[in-house]
């Protein structure tokens, strides 16, 4: 969808862009180093434990789990869980997110946090399996639902 600019449109220069930008989104997220340290699962449920080894500290000096890092950890949990459900010993292609919804109910300030997941409504297609995964981060701090296409051996996306 393209919108026409009005006669009052102002072009913003790099100095003002830099002054108004989030330092975290500009480059701080690159400092986040989070490792998946444990994953437990059965066919109906998965729980992963992540540990923060290093993180960008915002202006207040206190760590909190960012949306960017949380969605990466949720995605990693889903990719591994789907691989395990398919009996794979290695990932065989790129996974594509189709939808991602998340609600942030309270901050996660712990440097070790849990992600729980359950899969619902798996549907096979010619390109792989579409999964709908739902769960929470750190016992209800964030709630999420993600739908993704998980490729199977030999499928071409």
pLDDT (0 to 100) of residue 28: 86
CATH of the domain at 121: 3.10.129.10
Which range of residues forms the domain containing residue 76? Answer: 31-150
- Name which of 49, 50, 73 is nearest 133 in CA terms: 73
Q: Give the Cβ contact number of residue 130 at 10 Å.
A: 16
In-domain check, residue 13: no
In-domain check, residue 19: no
Its sign, for the CA torsion 62, 68, 72, 77, is positive
In-domain check, residue 156: no
In-domain check, residue 5: no
In-domain check, residue 1: no
Mean pLDDT of the chain: 92
In-domain check, residue 8: no
Q: Is 31 left (phi over 0), alpha (psi -120 to 50) or beta?
A: alpha
Provide the domain count of the chain: 1
Q: Using one digit for the tens of pLDDT, what is the confidence trace for 5-63?
A: 788 889 999 999 999 998 888 888 899 999 999 999 999 999 999 999 999 888 888 89
Is residue 124 within 8 A of residue 131, CB to CB? The reply is no
The mean pLDDT of 118-129, rounded to a whole number, is 91
In-domain check, residue 7: no
């Amino acid at each position: 969808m393209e919108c026409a600019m009005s006669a009052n449109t102002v072009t913003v220069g790099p100095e003002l862009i830099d002054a108004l930008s989030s330092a975290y989104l500009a480059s701080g997220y690159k400092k986040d180093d989070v490792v998946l340290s444990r994953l437990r699962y059965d066919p109906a449920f998965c729980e992963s434990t992540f540990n923060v080894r290093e993180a960008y500290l915002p202006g207040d000096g206190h760590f909190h789990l960012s949306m960017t890092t949380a969605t990466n950890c949720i995605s990693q949990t889903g990719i591994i869980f789907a691989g395990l459900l398919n009996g794979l010993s290695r990932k065989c292609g790129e996974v594509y997110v189709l939808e991602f919804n998340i609600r942030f109910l309270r901050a996660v300030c712990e440097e070790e946090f849990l992600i729980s997941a359950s899969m619902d409504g798996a549907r096979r297609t010619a390109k792989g399996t579409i999964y709908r995964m739902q769960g929470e981060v750190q016992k209800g701090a964030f709630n999420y639902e993600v739908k993704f296409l998980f490729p199977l051996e030999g499928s071409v996306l």
